[in-house]
Structure 1
Amino acid sequence: MGSIALAEELLLLAYDDESGKATGSHIGLDLGMAAAVLVELALAGRIVYVDGTIVVTEPSPIGEPIADEVLARVAADTPHSPASWVQRLRHGLRDRVLADLCDRGVVRDVDETTMGFIHVHRYPTVDPTVEADVRARLSRALIGDELPDERTAALATLVAAVRMTPALGLTGADAAAAHQRLGQIGDRAGFTGSVSMEESSIRPAVALVVAVLVSAVQIALGTAPR
């Protein structure tokens, strides 16, 4: 597992470093983060997709608090579809991830009270090296010809699924090229159904979980391919 969780990586990409405010679709980010937690568990070999549902194959913790809580929750509950799980998990997830990042000194919580009672929270970056590492991995994936590692391929595909390409800081032709490359990564990884999973270097069980979660997110956002 990387230095931070996939859901944290997605959140850091979505939040402006200086203003500390989320950019893009809030519900898209929340759905993407919920999917990211489940992808984290798939990467760790804890869950698989079987007969339309997410199933726990190994209940032992992976050492990431939020993912471990979700793992225990999935294991204790009746089987649910990927679409059901992303909706169940998205509520309150962002606040929990932000609190953890604050505790670790990656971002800070700026509480701005207006009219004496309306609280508006911003989360400007304190330690830019964490997000810099994430962006560096994505940048290498965008300019390279080889399929990146499983984790980076999954992150790239989630970024595309929740329409977060603008968060990469690219404009014009560069942004269009990045969007195309993100799609190619998902295709070649076997996440989109255009390439056989047996032909991908991504583990089939992982590719299947990512594929169904990305589809669930896109359907929820109304952006699923027709």
Structure 2
Amino acid sequence: MTGVALAEELLLLAYDDETGKATMPRISLDLGMAAAVLVELALAGRVAYDSGNLTVVDPTPTGEPTVDEVLARMADEQPHSPSSWVQRLRHGLRDRILGDLVERGVVRDVEETELDFIVVHRYPTVDPAVEEDTRRRLTEALTGGPAPDERTAALATLVAAVRMEPALGLTGEDARDVGKRLEEIAGGAGFSGEISMEDSVVRPSIALVVAVLGQAINAALGPRR
């Protein structure tokens, strides 16, 4: 593990550094972070797809607190389909990860009151190093050069699935071009497209999670335009 979970990287990309507010629909971010945790567990060899379900094959903790909480929950419960796990895990996950980032000094929690009675929280960046590294890796992957490592490819796959191109500062044709490149990276890593159990257990597990993530986001936001 890297010390920074994929779900944390997605969240930091989705929140504006200055205002501390989400720059994308929260439903898609919540679904994306749930999928990111499952992808993280698959990459770590902790879960695998088997007979229609994601199953824990190694309950050893990874060292990432939020990821390990999910791993323990999956080990305790009956196996569920990738679609079911994405929906089950999305509730409360964003607040849990934001709390961890606050404790580590990556963002700060700014509490405000709107309309005299509505309490809202913003999370402006305190330590930009984590997000800077995330954006650097994505930029290198998008601009060609050597093939990205497995984790960066997984991150690119998730960014494409949750339609996060605007969070990268891109709109219009630029966003569409980057979206295509992100999908190429996902396909090259075996994380999307044809799912073959002959290649590895990890890749079909991730491809299935990404597929159901896309379906859930389409259901929530409508088809991509």
**Alignment TM class, shorter chain as reference:** over 0.9
Provide, for residues 63-102 of structure 1, a one-character-per-residue CA deviation record: whole Å limited to 9, x for no partner: 1111111111101111100000010000000000000000
1:40 partnered with 2:40: yes
Which sits farther off after the overlay, 69-78 or 183-192?
Answer: 183-192
Secondary structure in 2 matching 1:54: strand
* Residue pair 2:195, 2:204 contacting (<8 A) in 1 also: no
CA-atom RMSD, angstroms? Answer: 1.8
Q: Distance in 2 between matches of 1:34 and 1:18?
A: 25
Q: Distance in 2 between matches of 1:18 and 1:197?
A: 44
Residue matched to 1:151: 151
Q: How far off its partner does 1:10 sit?
A: 0.3
Residue matched to 1:180: 180
Q: Distance in 2 between matches of 1:9 and 1:31?
A: 14
Q: How far off its partner does 1:3 sit?
A: 3.0
Residue matched to 2:68: 68
Correspondence for 1:220 among 203, 206, 216: 216
TM-score where L is the length of structure 1: 0.92
Q: Distance in 2 between matches of 1:64 and 1:100?
A: 11
How many residues align structurally?
221
1:165 partnered with 2:165: yes
Task: Give unpaired runs (5+ residues) of structure 2.
Answer: none
Residue matched to 2:50: 50
Q: How far off its partner does 1:211 sit?
A: 0.5
* Residue pair 1:53, 1:79 contacting (<8 A) in 2 also: yes
Q: How far off its partner does 1:177 sit?
A: 2.0
Task: Give unpaired runs (5+ residues) of structure 1.
Answer: none
- Do the aligned partners of residues 216 and 186 (structure 1) sit closer, same or farther apart at CA in structure 2, a change above 3 Å counting? same
Q: Distance in 1 between matches of 2:209 and 2:10?
A: 15
Residue matched to 1:29: 29
Q: Distance in 2 between matches of 1:136 and 1:154?
A: 15
Quick one: percent identity of the two aligned structures?
64
Q: Distance in 2 between matches of 1:156 and 1:10?
A: 10
Q: How far off its partner does 1:196 sit?
A: 5.9
Q: How far off its partner does 1:170 sit?
A: 2.5
